[in-house]
Chains A and B, each alone.
Chain A
Amino acid sequence: QKEVEQDPGPLSVPEGAIVSLNCTYSNSAFQYFMWYRQYSRKGPELLMYTYSSGNKEDGRFTAQVDKSSKYISLFIRDSQPSDSATYLCATLKETSYDKVIFGPGTSLSVIP
């Protein structure tokens, strides 16, 4: 079983839709959870960052972590064409700062 799994998509939605992107992870020791956004032919950039369980909101984006089910979600409200990108979830053990584990990414297209 992979440490972090993510539906690769592609996911295509109309502009204005609510988007839900999801990951599952296998190791209960993971404490830090991140979402990176990667535009085509660019490097990943951090979008959201949470520690342990709970929700975190930043504008149109909400990150949610459910440690009981080992489930990570990213919600995008009022999606825009500029949100079209690949979204990678990532996680890290609290006691090991060396290596971040990335999911394979979900490709999202927001159609005007």
Chain B
Amino acid sequence: NAGVTQTPKFRILKIGQSMTLQCTQDMNHNYMYWYRQDPGMGLKLIYYSVGAGITDKGEVPNGYNVSRSTTEDFPLRLELAAPSQTSVYFCASRPDMSAIQYFGAGTRLSVL
């Protein structure tokens, strides 16, 4: 039971570099989410998707982009990384008609 898989687990970027955080789920969930978690700040929604081909902005979308070409994959793209993007990033998915989200193990990103 893989569930939600995120790669990489850790990454250090230099200011101005770009990268893609990968997220894949094997539960056939239509809904997928990207959050960032900063110390003491809880989870902030970056982007979400209600199905393949459909994405929408969350609370803190600036500096990020997403795509959803398949049900399984929901990559998060960071363009021109900035120190403010240093955080732990979590991907989550949930089935239709359910409030319960299933989270990946997270990606720890440092931008120096």
Enumerate chain B residues within 8 angstroms of A8, measured Cβ to Cβ: 40
Enumerate chain A residues within 8 angstroms of B105, measured Cβ to Cβ: 42-43
| A97 engages B99 (CB within 8 Å) | yes
Min Cβ gap A72→B in Å is: 14
| A102 engages B31 (CB within 8 Å) | no
Min Cβ gap B56→A in Å is: 8
Cross-chain pairs A/B with CB under 8 angstroms, 21 sampled = A6-B42, A8-B40, A42-B105, A43-B90, A43-B92, A43-B104, A44-B101, A45-B103, A46-B100, A92-B99, A97-B31, A97-B96, A97-B97, A98-B48, A98-B50, A99-B48, A100-B99, A100-B101, A102-B43, A104-B41, A104-B42
| B106 engages A88 (CB within 8 Å) | no
User: A: which residues have CB within 8 A of B?
Assistant: 6, 8, 32, 34, 41-46, 49, 88, 92, 97-100, 102-105
Min Cβ gap B33→A in Å is: 8
Q: Which residue from chain A places its CB closest to the CB of B103 in the assembled complex?
A: A43
Bound: A45/B94 CA distance, A:
12
